[in-house]
Structures are given as C-alpha cells and as structure tokens.
Structure 1
Amino acid sequence: MLRNAAELAIRRPRTVVAVWAVVLVVGLGLGGSVFGRLGGLGANVPGSQSQVTADRLDKIDPGADTIDALVVSATPGRVIAADPGLRDRVTAAVGDLRKIPGVAQVPDPYQTPGATGDGQAVAIPVTFVSGIAAHDEHVASLAVQARLHAIATPDFQVKVGGGPLAGDALNSIAQSDASKAELISLPIVLLLLVVVFGGLLAASLPLVLAVCGIASTLLVLFGFSFATDLSVYSVQITTMLGLGLGVDYALLMVTRFKQERAATPDIADCVRRTVSAAGRTVFFSGLTVAVSLVGLVVYSAPFLRSMGLAATAVVAVDMLAAVTLLPALLAKYGHRIKPAKADRSEGRWFGKFAAGVARRPLPVLLVIVAGLVTVATPVTALSLSPGDARELPASSEPRQVYDLTVAHFPGQSATGPLYVLVDGGATKPAYLAHLRSLPGVVQSAQKMLPDGSAVLQLTPAGTVDGKVATGLVQTIRAEHQGASVTGDSAHLVDFRQMLVDRLPYAAGVVFLSVFVLLFLFTGSLLVPLKAVLTNLLSIGASLGAMVWVFQQGHFAGVFGSGLKGGLGALDVTVPPLMIAVAFGLSMDYEIFILGRIREARLAGEEARQAVVTGVRYTGRVVTCAAALLVIVFACFMTGGAAPILEFGFGLTFAVLIDATLVRMMLVPAVLALLGERAWWAPRALRGLHARFGVAEAPEPAREELLQSV
C-alpha cells in the first residue's frame, strides 16, 4: 500500500496536490460551519437513571430556560437593596421584560424573599416559555439582555448569565481560542522548523500538512455533527491533535528525505525510500494513536464516543496526508531541498547519553520510576465535576454572575438542584416529607404531575461533586421507594459509575490492539509490555500534575485569575480523553525509537549497542518533534476555558516527560537491562512475525548515511 502511494505521488504529483487542495478549500469553507452545531454534552450517559429520568420529565413536564441578571453597585460594599432610584429602574424593567414575546415569568425582586441577598445585589431571573423554538428563544434572549443592561448607570452595574448563556459563552470561547492558538503557534513552529531544516521550503512542508490537517479536522467534525452531538471543546481538542501530529509526521518524513538526498541524487528514488522507511513508521504510529483513541468509543457517554471517533478520524487523515500529499510535494519540489550534511558527529551527544544510561540501567530505572510515581501521587485525590460557569474565564459575564451570586447570596447553594421523580407521589405524602427533610437539603420545592407522580426539587449544600450532593443521590436510590433522581450531581454519579464499569473494556481494547501492532512492528512480546507500562507511568505523572495544579490550586492562577485557588475538581470529561490522547502520543515516540533500534539489530548490532544506536539517531528527531508538540499544546493554553487549559497542560506535561525522562532514559534503561531477552518471542510467534511483520533490515551499504528511524 505504501509503495503504491509513493508511486502515485511520483507519477501524478499535481493530481495528488490538487485533490488535497480541494479538501483544504472545502474544509476551511464548509467545515467552518461546525461551530454553529456544537453544544455542551458533559456527563450525560444514555440509559442511566439520571438520563432516563430527565428524558421522562421533559415529556411529562417540559422545563424552561432561565437566565439571571444581577444588579450590583459600582462601589464595592454599598447596600443598594433599598435605593429608591434603583428600585424604580428595576420595576420599570421588570414590566418591560414581561411584555417581550417568549418570556413566561419575571418575578418582582422586591416582592420575592431572598432576591436581594445580603443587600448589595438585586437578582432578576427571567424564565422563557416552555417548549419555545430555539430561534425564538434566542431572539427573546437578546431582547431580554438588552433591556437588562439598560438598567445600568454609572452607579450600578448589570451582569447577565445563567441558563443557556454559559453554553453560548463556551462555544464562542472555543471558536476564538482555537483561532488564536493557531495564529500564535504556526509562526513559532515555522521559525523552529527553519532552524531545524535550514531552509524555508523544507520548513514549510510540515505546516502545509498541518493546515491540511486542520481543514480536514473541521470537515470531519462537520460530518460527525450530523450523526452525533459534539461538544464545544471538540474543535480545540481535535485541532490541537491534528496540528501536532501533522507537524510530527512531516518532520519525520522530511528529515528522512533530506538524508536520502545525501545518498542519491534521484528524487523519485529518494521519495520511494522515504515512504518505505519513514512512511512505514508514520503508518504504524498513526495506527497506534488511532487505536488508542478508539478505546473511547467503548464508553457510552456521547462526548467521549464522539471525541474518540472524531479524533481517530483526524489521526487517520494526518497519516494519509503524510504518505500521499507529502510525497507528492517532495516529488514536485524535492530538488529544491538541500541534502542533509554528512556529519558523523550527528547525534553523538544522544549516543553518549544513551551509553551512559546503558552502563547503569538499574539506578536510572529506580530513580525515574520513583520520581514519576511521586509526581503521580495527587491522582489519589482526583475529583471529577460536570462543570459550571467557573470553567469560563473571569472576564466572562456568565462567570461574573456566578461569582457575584456566591458572594452576595450566601444562603444559596452553588450546587444545581436534584430532581426526584416519585411514582404515585400523590399517595405518599409521608415519603415526600421524608425526602425534603433529608440531611444536607437546604432548599426544596414540590410539584404534583397530571399522572399522579410527584417531582421534588432538592437543593443540596456544597458543590455538585461534593459528598453531600452525591451522597443524597445514592441515599435516595438506595431506599427503593419508587423514586428516581436526576440533576447535575446525579449525572455525575452515573458518569463515574460508567467510567468504572467500562474502563476494563476500554483498556482491554487499547492494550490488545497496541500489543498486536507493536509485536508486528518489533517481533517481540516483552517490548510491547514494556511500552504499555512505561506509558502508564508517564500518564499517571501527567494526571497527577493536573490534579495538583487545577484541582488543588498550586500555581493555577498563572493560567488565569479565575483559576486562583483551584477548581476543587477536574472537568469530568478531561481525564479519560487526556489519558487516551497521551497514551497514543507516547506510542508515537515509542515507535520512532523502536523502529531505529530494530533496524540496528537487524544490521547485526548486539542488543545493548542497538539501543544506543537507536537513541543516537532518533534523539534529535524525537526532541524536535516533542518541542513542536509542546509549542502547539502550550499555545492552546492561552485560551480561557478551564477544560482546554487542563487538557493542554496535561498533554504538554506528558510530552515533556515522555520525550525526556521516558524515551531518553527509562526506555533505554529497561531495554539495556533486558538485553537480548527484550526481543524474545515463542517460535510460533516468530514465524507469525516473519510472515506478517513489517520490520525490514536496512541496506548495509547505506547504513552509515541514514541517521533516522
């Protein structure tokens, strides 16, 4: 297949480039429409009690969206509840709001207990008509916001948020952050590539591949939006992955091409050899990253499934572009790319470093493992939250409404209410009273439905992910009195349980697939096992660092004033997604190094020396690739949405650890300790690898010229 791709690129480079140009134009044009089709999925699990109950309530008693406005003084600490001028403005606004088509209810805050909180704020909730069309609600919402903001004067500020406005803000931030990250990262990546390759043309090829990857990402997501719901974060995450891997694969391919140019002046032959060698590595790397992400499909949560499918498709597109578009560009313009210089000192520092590790593998192994385990320790305190307005930057108006509500309405809980549907509730007054009096309930309301059931709205103390809220869910469910629970905390409980139930299957799919691919690539049983274990160590350390920073608040303020002190929990969707992507990226570098070590062994080097050779000739490529990925991921950390900051930080940390401590030290130490045993496999499997494996010995006459994987 790779040989055919190379021949097509050599014979018809213009055709291949034209096809990808069409993909680029369509992707940037049509794919941009995906931003209007994004939404918040969060911790919903189809078939769970929380989701089934929510769906049932929507049919029996459809809810209505509510947005909230807070009027506060421009002078902090000033009591405004009794200000006559403000009262007149608010009363007039309430009357006007009630006349807006689509508005169902606007209570008078001066006649509603608790609507003025500590006296320093006035709350004005606006509820829309139940079941109103989305377009009509949007029009009504804009009119409501305009009238509410008109209350403001130099003495009084008005902030509007809550309800669908938080989701709208997340969508807007996701779009602007993705564009900003691309504008920042692409010039920096280009500059670094110019330094690496020593020429603008060679440096521009990875960016061409990356831009095609971004366009394809948007197109893939647009297609997926018709088959499944997509999260507001899907564009950022898949763009981050597509951009990073696109540059990664192109770096490897162009580096190999320059080295082939030093061996032969024939461009077509160079392209063939590049695709045959580096293209094979890219192909298996892409497959490995893809199967790592396919594990997300095992989870039943729509967010994880959609992200797993979309990210897998993006990786496949990047891989396809690397073995089709890039060879076509090299065939067309490769004669303008300077050959690599014949420098026998190339990689000598990495070789000496690897030799030092190989001489003392056990101390290195113990120190690195102990360090990674220590960094991973905070994982034991991991807490998950379905997310709220705190995930928005402090400058966002819905976030300001949340903060002001917490500050000026201390008697109100920051937790969303639980909705308890009790079958036959009309005949169970004692049980309903019991539910309303459960420990931890700070507010309650009750409503009878036409079918004889009852709905209780119970507001627990504490946070959505706190022990009080989740404990109430578990207590009510354990009583078996015909009651079912939904609400944010109930969704979180079900999502956590789904993760626990599906984790063994997801891990099994990923580990088995990776094990098979690495066996076909190396012919060993122990090398795939080593790869999985070392990857888990680096991922554990990355997750521990995320908990330490974003959950516990250490230096979190560096990423935004709204994160100072920490969030108390990570977004529920981030850890499983980060683990899948980080595992795939770790395997990416693993294959880079293993491919070169395997070549050295097949060329006759003994096991320990082959490790040194592999690190020597891949150290520079892996280091450059890691630096480029870190730049890409770090640029996505310039945004304001907390889940993206968590995800970007986790991947940046994972790449740094993986490209330094793991690939340059831990992997050589383990392989040096194992020696020839690292490449052991039973006779039957050796025969299987001989028939279906992909590793090939390099040509001896060219071995000294080729310093790549």
Structure 2
Amino acid sequence: MLSTLARAATRRPLTVMLLWGVFLLLGFGLGTGVFGKLSDDVPDVPGTESAVAAEYLDDLDPSGESITAVVEAAAVSGPEVRAQVLRAVADLRDLAGVAAVPDPYATRGLVAEDGRALIVPVALEGGLDDAAEEAAVDAAAGRLHEIDASGVHVSGGPLLGEQLGERAQEDVKNAELISLPVVLVLLLVVFGGLRAAGLPLLVAVAGIAGAFLALFAFSQFTDISVYAIQVTTMLGLGLAVDYALLMLVRFREERRETPDVVEAVHRTVAAAGRTVLFSGLTVAVSLAGLLVFPSTFLRSMGLAVAAVVVVDMLAALTLLPALLARFGGKIAPAKVRAKGEEGRLFARLAGFAARRRAAVLAVAVPALLVLALPVTGMRVNIGDAQQLPKSTEARRLHDAVGAHFPPGTGVSPVTVVLRPGTDAGTADRIRALAPGGGSRDLPGGTTVLELPPAGSVDGRAATELVERVRDIRGDAPVQVTGTAAQLVDFRQMLADRAPWAALTVLAGILVLLFAFTGSVLLPLRTVATTLLSLGAALGAVVWVFQDGHLAGLIGAEGLGALSLTAPPLIIAIAFGLAMDYELFILARMREAREQSGDDREAVVTGLRRSGRVVTCAALLLAVVFGAFMTGGFSPILQIGLGLTLAVLIDATVVRMLLVPATMALLGRRAWWAPRPLRRAHERFGVREEVAAPAEPEPAHH
C-alpha cells in the first residue's frame, strides 16, 4: 500500500497537490462554519437518569432558553437608571420570541443589597426554530446593551455558546499566529534551509484544515464542544509537523545515498512511512477508548481527533512525497558525519542508562511516581464561568454576580421529578432536604421540585443533595435532573466505563506494537513506561489547577477540581503521542539490530539515530501546545499543560533513560516471542526496509 501511494504521489505530484489544494479550500471555507455551531453543554450523557428526566420534562412542559443580564451602577435604584431599566424591560416584553421578563425592582432577589447591581432574566418562548431563537437572542441582547450604566453584561443560554465560539475562533487564530512562526524558526535551525523547513508547515496547514472539516462534518449530527476547536487544531498542527519532520529527516538521509530524488522519496516512504502509518494508527487506537463512553462529548471528540490524525497521516504519506518529488532536488542531502560524531549526546545517554540500568530505574521510576501522587486526590467538576477568560462577557457577568449578590445566586437548582404514583411521605421527605425550594404541578399529575443547593452548582453539597434524594426515593417513580445530577451521572459513567476503555486501548496498542516489533515483551514494557510519564503529567495538572500551586504563572487559578473534559482527553491523546516517540525509537533500534545483530549496540545506535528527531518533535509539539495555552480557557490550559508535560517527560526521561535502561535489562529477551507468534509475525508483520545506517545531522547553509 505504501509503495503504491509513493508511486502515485511521485508520478502525478501536481495532481496530488491540486487535490490537497481543494481540500484546503474546503477546510478553510466550509469547515470554518463549525465556529457557529459550538456548544458549551458537555456533561449530558444519553440514557442516564438526568438525561431521561430532562427529556421527560421537555416533552411534558417544553420551555425555551433564557439569557441573563447584570446591570451595574453607583445606584441602580436611582431615577435615571431605573427609568432606563424599566423601558428596556417593556421593550423586551414586546420582542418576538420573548416569553417573559420580570420587573427586577418588583421581584425579590434581583436587586443587590448593596444597591449597585441588578439582574434582568429574559425567558424565551419554547419551540422556536434556530433562526427565530437567534433573532430573539440578538434583539434582546442588543436592547439590554443599550442601557446606559457603568456595566452591562449579557450572557447565558444560546448567547453563551455564541460568545464562546467567537472567543474560540479568536484564540485559534492567535495560537496559529504565535506557533507557526516559532515552529518555522525551529525547523530552520533543524534543517538549515527554508525549503526543507517550509514543507512541514504546508503539511501542518493541511492538518488544521482537516481539523476544521472534521468538526464541521460531525457538527451536522452531534453537538461539538467549544473546546473541541482548540484541542483538534493543536493536535492537527502538532502531529503534522511531527510526521513531516520524521519523513524529511529520512529523505535527506536517503538523498545522501542516492542522487535520484524519486528513488529517495520511494525509499523514504518505504522506511519512515511505515513508522508514520503505525504512529497514526496507534494514536487513533488510543482515541478509540473515548468511543467506549456513552458521552456525546467524549465520543464526538474521539471521532473528530481520530479523523484529524488520519488526515495528518495521509498528508505525510501523499502530499509530502508529492512536494518532495517536485521540489526535493533543491533540498540539500544530510552531511556525512565522521563515525561517532552524529548523535553523540544521545549515544552517551543511552550508553550510560544501559550500563547503570539499575540506578537509572531506581531513581527515575520513584521520581515519576511521586509526581503522579496528586492523581489519587483528583476531582472533576462541570465548572462555571470561572473557567473562562476574564475578558469574556460570561465571566464578567459571573464576577459581577459574585461581587454584588449572596453566594448561591443564579445557581441551578437540583430538579426532582415526582411522577404520578409518588406517595406524599416520600415527597415531603425530599422537600425537607432543602427548605425554601420551589414546586410546580404539570399536566398528568407530575410535580417538579426545585431544591436550591448550598454553594456552587457542582460543589459537594449539590452532588450530595442529588445522592440523598436518590437514596430517599426508594422504589418511588422519582427522578433527579439538573446540572448537579448531570455531574453525578457523568462521574459514574467515567467510573463504569473507564476499565473497558483502558482494555480497548491496551489491546489495540499491544497488537499494533507486536505487529511492528514482533516482540511480546516490548509492547508490555512500552505501555508500562508510558503510563509513568502520563501519570506524572496528570499529577502536575492536578497540583496546578486543582490545588492552585503556581497556577498564576500561566494565567490560571486553583479551582478545587479539574474540568471533567480534561482528564479523559489528556490520557487518550498523551498516550497516543507517547506511542509516536516509542515507534520512532524502536524503528531505529530494530533497524540497527538487523544490521549488527548486537542487542546492546542496537540500543545505543537506535537512540543515536532517533534521539535528535524525537527531541525536536517534542520541542515543536510543546511550542504548539504552549501557543494554544495563551487563550485563557481553563479546560484548554489544563489539556495544554498536561500534553506539554507528557510529551516533554516522555521524550526525555522515559525515551532517553528508561527505554535504554529497560532494553539493556531485558537484553535479547526484549525481542522474544513464542514460536507460533514469531511465525505469524514473519508472515503478516510489518518490516521496514533497511536504509542508510545514520541519522543525519542538519546541514546549515
């Protein structure tokens, strides 16, 4: 298959480039339409009690969305501000699509006790189509912003998703403006020439277009989280550069052996292309674990990110060979280095780790385990507007409410649905859990209780209230929904499905690594060392964002819990990225072993040849992830920091020290497999063509 792709790309390079040009136009044209379809509703899990109860209420009593405004002034009850607010309320009531707007001065709790702020909630009619709802929201928000006061902040409902989508688009653009020039400079340092440095960026642009197009496609039949844009774009950009870097380094090496450009491209795809193919497959398999969870968010993220990985892989295997066939003759071959000169530092590291394997393991493994300790106390919450950048209007509204109103204001209640047949005693016991809650009767004998939780919507008091209601109800036809109930159900879903997700990923990874290496022990060793780096990175994220240590250094704050989106995505993506570097190194180790037959020397030689590529790839990925951390969304900061640390720890401590130490410890046994499996691998496994023995140092011109 790879040879067929290589021949097609080199035989018709202009056709291949034209097809990719059309893809780019679709990605940056049609694909960017996803920014208008983003949702901030993450925790819903179809089939759970909270989701079923919410659907039941929507069918029985369909209600519309709502938006909220906070008006700040020196005296909101002063005659001038009061007159403006009341005129705005009257105008809002006359707008098409608006169901109700209470008088804030006549409604208890809407005017702050300090007299410096008031809340104006606007309820929309139920059953509005998208166009009518958008028109009503825009008109209501516009009218509220016309109030002349020291501060008017409007958000919530569909307006929140629109605001977050605009901010996400701005953050992606800024991240690209920051990362692409820095990546280009680093590539210039690596390759020493503009042509070679520019080609990975072309592949990276294809990755970004693929991210947009994949998300737009999935948005047609499922909700796409606002955070999906940053995650898929950063991964699409980073992996594209990684794959292109590996291919280009190998191409320059092959050019050193053959003057024929097309032949060098074929040899590159035959060797490094197989590593790219398996790397893409391992990342995709790691993300397949997200499909085990019934969460719409996690499934859509898994599919979208996997699609982006496939696009990056195809771009590296088709677009890059076409570009090399057309322009590769002007890229200088790698310099011939004296024996022992190339990769000297990495060879010394590998030799040291192999000789002092017991000491390296005794120091590195406990150190990584200590870094991972905070994971044992990890908590996940839905979070509120505090997770958003302070410049967003939703965050300003949240801060204004917190500054002027008592704690708990605006917190979504725990909604209890008492279906027909619920006895009065059960209903009374549930009401007693949160005195002061509201109650309303719906058609058909259904009663809805709204219990106000103490503290935040996803705090311990709120989730314990949900659990106590579920304990009290017994066999009564009572269901609990609302934000706190969604969180309880999401946490339970993670706990129930996480083992199955882990088994799915591990089984797929072990099979792929066996197909790549022909060994039974190497896949097990790879998984064990990868889990160490992953645990250390996740522990650091908990220490910073949950516990608040050093959070201010990256513009964040301690929130007492991680966003429920962060841990699953960090684990799935970081695991896949770690497999990338493992495959880069194992490919070179196996190649050296086949050439020399010396297991110890193969470890040193393999790291000598691959260490520079792995280090450069990790540095480039860290730059990309770091650029996306400038946006300020706390979940993106958490994911960005987690992936950055996972990549850096894995590419340094794990791959440069633990890998050679464990390989030396295993010796010849590292490549062992039972005879039946060995025969199966000889027949069906993947074998790279052995090319020139040295990884080139970049030429400087």
> Is the TM value for this pair above 0.5?
yes
Q: How does 1:115-514 map to 2 (within 5 A)?
A: 115-119=110-114, 120-153=116-149, 156-344=150-338, 345-413=341-409, 415-424=411-420, 428-438=423-433, 441=434, 443-478=436-471, 479-480=473-474, 481-514=476-509
Asked whether the equivalents of residues 270 and 689 of structure 2 are also in contact (C-alpha less than 8 Å), the reply is no
Gaps of 5+ in 2: none
Counterpart residue type for residue 71 of structure 1? V
Q: 1:357 to 1:435 in 2, by over 3 A?
A: same
Structure 2 residue aligned with 1:528, among 509, 523, 528?
523
State how far apart, in whole Å, the 2-side matches of 1:437 and 1:705 are.
Answer: 72
Which residue does the alignment assign to 1:43? 43
Structure 1 residue aligned with 2:81, among 86, 90, 97?
86
SS at match of 1:126: strand
Pairing 1:577–2:569 present: yes
Q: CA deviation at 1:81?
A: 5.3
Q: 1:609 to 1:413 in 2, by over 3 A?
A: farther
Q: 1:227 to 1:112 in 2, by over 3 A?
A: closer
Asked whether the equivalents of residues 534 and 646 of structure 2 are also in contact (C-alpha less than 8 Å), the reply is yes
State how far apart, in whole Å, the 1-side matches of 2:13 and 2:435 are.
Answer: 69
State how far apart, in whole Å, the 1-side matches of 2:683 and 2:90 are.
Answer: 80
SS at match of 2:437: strand
Which residue does the alignment assign to 1:646? 638
Which residue does the alignment assign to 2:586? 594
SS at match of 1:581: helix
| Structure 1 residues 90-141: Cα deviation after superposition (integer angstroms, max 9, x where no partner) | 2232222222222222222221122223223222212122222332222222
Could you state the TM-score of these two structures normalised by the residue count of structure 1? 0.95
Q: CA deviation at 1:414?
A: 6.1
Counterpart residue type for residue 140 of structure 2? V
Counterpart residue type for residue 510 of structure 2? F
Q: CA deviation at 1:498?
A: 1.1
Which residue does the alignment assign to 1:55? 55
Q: CA deviation at 1:583?
A: 0.3
Which residue does the alignment assign to 2:106? 111
Asked whether the equivalents of residues 442 and 461 of structure 1 are also in contact (C-alpha less than 8 Å), the reply is no
Which residue does the alignment assign to 2:5? 5
Q: 1:233 to 1:125 in 2, by over 3 A?
A: same
SS at match of 1:111: coil
State how far apart, in whole Å, the 2-side matches of 1:160 and 1:390 are.
Answer: 16
Which residue does the alignment assign to 1:34? 34
Asked whether the equivalents of residues 336 and 696 of structure 2 are also in contact (C-alpha less than 8 Å), the reply is no
Q: CA deviation at 1:189?
A: 0.7
SS at match of 1:68: strand
Counterpart residue type for residue 684 of structure 2? F
Q: How does 1:619-630 map to 2 (within 5 A)?
A: 619-630=611-622
Q: CA deviation at 1:276?
A: 0.8
Which residue does the alignment assign to 1:77? none
> Could you tell which deviates more after superposition, 227-236 or 524-533?
227-236
Asked whether the equivalents of residues 413 and 462 of structure 1 are also in contact (C-alpha less than 8 Å), the reply is no
Q: How does 1:535-574 map to 2 (within 5 A)?
A: 535-560=530-555, 563-564=556-557, 566-574=558-566
Asked whether the equivalents of residues 602 and 697 of structure 1 are also in contact (C-alpha less than 8 Å), the reply is no
Q: CA deviation at 1:662?
A: 0.9
Asked whether the equivalents of residues 252 and 696 of structure 2 are also in contact (C-alpha less than 8 Å), the reply is no
Asked whether the equivalents of residues 224 and 297 of structure 2 are also in contact (C-alpha less than 8 Å), the reply is yes
Q: CA deviation at 1:465?
A: 2.9
| Structure 1 residues 193-215: Cα deviation after superposition (integer angstroms, max 9, x where no partner) | 11111111111110111111111
Counterpart residue type for residue 15 of structure 2? T
State how far apart, in whole Å, the 2-side matches of 1:9 and 1:623 are.
Answer: 29
Counterpart residue type for residue 246 of structure 2? L
State how far apart, in whole Å, the 2-side matches of 1:124 and 1:216 are.
Answer: 42
Asked whether the equivalents of residues 598 and 695 of structure 1 are also in contact (C-alpha less than 8 Å), the reply is no
Asked whether the equivalents of residues 263 and 705 of structure 1 are also in contact (C-alpha less than 8 Å), the reply is no
Asked whether the equivalents of residues 66 and 126 of structure 1 are also in contact (C-alpha less than 8 Å), the reply is yes
Counterpart residue type for residue 649 of structure 2? I
> Could you tell which deviates more after superposition, 402-411 or 478-487?
402-411
Q: CA deviation at 1:680?
A: 1.5
State how far apart, in whole Å, the 2-side matches of 1:524 and 1:411 are.
Answer: 59
State how far apart, in whole Å, the 2-side matches of 1:162 and 1:34 are.
Answer: 20
State how far apart, in whole Å, the 2-side matches of 1:377 and 1:443 are.
Answer: 42
Gaps of 5+ in 1: 75-79
Q: 1:310 to 1:538 in 2, by over 3 A?
A: same
> Could you tell which deviates more after superposition, 573-582 or 468-477?
468-477
SS at match of 1:393: coil
Counterpart residue type for residue 549 of structure 1? V
State how far apart, in whole Å, the 2-side matches of 1:386 and 1:475 are.
Answer: 20
Pairing 1:694–2:681 present: no
SS at match of 2:450: strand
> Could you tell which deviates more after superposition, 156-165 or 628-637?
156-165
Q: CA deviation at 1:602?
A: 1.2
SS at match of 1:69: strand
Asked whether the equivalents of residues 279 and 583 of structure 2 are also in contact (C-alpha less than 8 Å), the reply is yes
Q: CA deviation at 1:159?
A: 1.9
Asked whether the equivalents of residues 414 and 463 of structure 1 are also in contact (C-alpha less than 8 Å), the reply is no
SS at match of 1:117: coil
Q: CA deviation at 1:392?
A: 1.4
SS at match of 2:105: helix
Counterpart residue type for residue 477 of structure 1? R
Q: CA deviation at 1:63?
A: 2.5
Q: CA deviation at 1:696?
A: 4.2
Counterpart residue type for residue 474 of structure 1? E
State how far apart, in whole Å, the 1-side matches of 2:65 and 2:513 are.
Answer: 51
State how far apart, in whole Å, the 2-side matches of 1:569 and 1:142 are.
Answer: 34
State how far apart, in whole Å, the 2-side matches of 1:313 and 1:669 are.
Answer: 35
> Could you tell which deviates more after superposition, 661-670 or 88-97?
88-97
Asked whether the equivalents of residues 39 and 167 of structure 1 are also in contact (C-alpha less than 8 Å), the reply is yes
Q: 1:365 to 1:413 in 2, by over 3 A?
A: farther
Asked whether the equivalents of residues 334 and 696 of structure 2 are also in contact (C-alpha less than 8 Å), the reply is no
Counterpart residue type for residue 621 of structure 1? V
Asked whether the equivalents of residues 286 and 315 of structure 1 are also in contact (C-alpha less than 8 Å), the reply is yes
Asked whether the equivalents of residues 259 and 707 of structure 1 are also in contact (C-alpha less than 8 Å), the reply is no
SS at match of 1:567: coil
State how far apart, in whole Å, the 1-side matches of 2:90 and 2:27 are.
Answer: 48
Counterpart residue type for residue 661 of structure 2? A
Which residue does the alignment assign to 1:25? 25
> Could you tell which deviates more after superposition, 113-122 or 288-297?
113-122
| Structure 1 residues 485-528: Cα deviation after superposition (integer angstroms, max 9, x where no partner) | 01111111111111111112211111111101111111111110
Paired-residue identity, %? 55
Asked whether the equivalents of residues 596 and 617 of structure 1 are also in contact (C-alpha less than 8 Å), the reply is yes
State how far apart, in whole Å, the 2-side matches of 1:34 and 1:103 are.
Answer: 27
Q: CA deviation at 1:253?
A: 0.4
Counterpart residue type for residue 112 of structure 1? T
Counterpart residue type for residue 573 of structure 1? T
Q: CA deviation at 1:706?
A: 6.8
State how far apart, in whole Å, the 2-side matches of 1:26 and 1:13 are.
Answer: 20
Q: CA deviation at 1:286?
A: 0.8
Asked whether the equivalents of residues 444 and 459 of structure 1 are also in contact (C-alpha less than 8 Å), the reply is yes
State how far apart, in whole Å, the 1-side matches of 2:5 and 2:270 are.
Answer: 10
Counterpart residue type for residue 503 of structure 1? A
